């Protein structure tokens, strides 16, 4: 799943494997087959990507963790994995265990007792705030930021900023799925490892999206 020489490894349900080549086409395709597309849910124009089936399949989910572990190793190794609330927790915690490192939750506002470091960022309609307990990160800790979907890149950029504000060094960003055409990869351009992060991608994405 490292950047050099990566090739599409399979295709299923409108999703392409971009960085699953190390798993081989059969395992990569199996991972993508378990992601269900639900159109117009929870509202018109939204294509909801349901990852429940993937999470429930031990072998396939293990393949995802293995592939994302390759992202961390390609970044030169990490000291911690930071996951975005809430689905980033589901991916980031087992990844941290796989790598033998700690896991740090990046929480929504109001979920942590003080003191906290905070970052507020823009959404399509309004703003959102994420928090990290102050003093959690050792100064200079190498951190991989993990979330389920890379769409516009706003949440991921805020997560990376929060890690840096807390004293960590972001060495990469990893995602289960990437929705192409929404500008997320471009927004994260210049950040270490950002382009290596996505496991699967949907070409020509438009409108809003959901994932659970």
The answer to whether 124 is a known catalytic residue is yes
Assign 3-state DSSP to the chain and report helix, strand, coil percentages, each to 5: 30, 30, 35
Sign, Cα dihedral of 209, 22, 61, 86: negative
DSSP for 173-196, written as a single string: EEEEEEETTSSHHHHTTTSTTGGG
Q: Which residue is catalytic, options 30, 87, 185, 191?
A: 87
Comparing CA positions, the residue from 50, 5, 1 lying closest to residue 23 is 1
State the number of CA atoms in the 13 A half-sphere of 127 facing the CB: 8
Distance CA 45, CA 182 (A): 14
Tell me which residues are annotated as active site. 87, 124
């Amino acid at each position: 799943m490292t950047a050099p020489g990566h090739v599409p490894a399979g295709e299923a349900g409108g999703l392409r494997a971009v960085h699953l080549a190390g798993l081989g086409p059969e395992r990569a395709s199996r991972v993508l087959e378990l992601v269900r597309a639900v159109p117009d849910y929870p509202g018109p124009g939204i294509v909801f990507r349901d990852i429940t089936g993937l999470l429930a399949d031990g072998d396939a989910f293990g393949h995802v963790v293995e592939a994302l572990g390759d992202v961390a190793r390609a970044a030169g190794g990490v000291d911690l994995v930071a996951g975005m609330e809430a689905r980033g927790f589901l991916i980031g915690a087992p990844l941290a265990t796989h790598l033998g490192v700690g896991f740090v939750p990046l929480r929504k506002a109001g979920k942590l007792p003080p003191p906290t470091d905070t970052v507020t960022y823009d959404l399509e309609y309004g703003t959102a705030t994420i928090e990290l307990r102050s003093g959690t990160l050792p100064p200079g800790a190498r951190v991989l930021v993990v979330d389920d979907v890379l769409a516009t890149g706003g949440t991921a950029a805020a997560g990376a900023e929060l890690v840096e504000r807390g004293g960590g060094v972001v060495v990469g960003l990893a995602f289960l799925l990437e929705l192409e055409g929404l500008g997320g990869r471009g927004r994260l351009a210049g950040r270490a490892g950002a382009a290596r992060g996505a496991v699967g991608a949907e070409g020509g994405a438009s409108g809003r999206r959901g994932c659970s």
